[in-house]
Amino acid sequence: MKLIKAIIRPDKLHDVLHALYEKNVQGLTVSRVKGHGGEPEVTETYRGAQRKRELQDKVLIDIALSEDFVETTVETIMETARTGEVGDGKVFIQPLDSVHRIRTGEQDEQAVTPVDET
């Protein structure tokens, strides 16, 4: 099992989520975050005063999944979130030792697979 953390541009979120759903990647968390990577600093005017905006608005997507979905998920995020400009984001892949589904008590692989409600 792996935990994928993808930091992307906010305007690419809808496209990335749509592409992931088409690949049957489910069970994710989205958070609004701020960060700074390789983007140049932006100077903006607020109420007549100049100030540097050092942190950029980003979106963090957390996805816990089984090994079978890792390559497809990473490729989908990379292709869909890419603009070719500085600031497109990063994808981190971490090992996941254990997962527990609170509602059913399922563990590990069973806890990260989609729930079949039939």
113 domain residue, yes or no: no
Structural domain that includes position 93: 2-100
Residue 8, both tokens: 């992307």
- Structure confidence at residue 115 (pLDDT): 65
Distance (Å, whole) CA 117 – CA 5: 27
pTM, two decimals, is: 0.83
Q: Give me the pLDDT at residue 13, please.
A: 98
Which residues in the chain show pLDDT less than 50? none
What pLDDT was estimated at residue 100? 93
Count up the domains in the chain and report the number: 1
Domain presence at residue 28: yes
Whole-number pLDDT of residue 21: 94
Residue 1 and residue 69: Cα distance in Å, rounded? 9
User: Does 63 reside within a domain?
Assistant: yes
CATH number at residue 35: 3.30.70.120
What is the per-residue pLDDT across 24-45, written as a single tens digit (0 to 9) for each? Answer: 998 899 999 998 877 767 777 7
Residue closest to 68 by CA, chosen among 113, 116, 28: 113
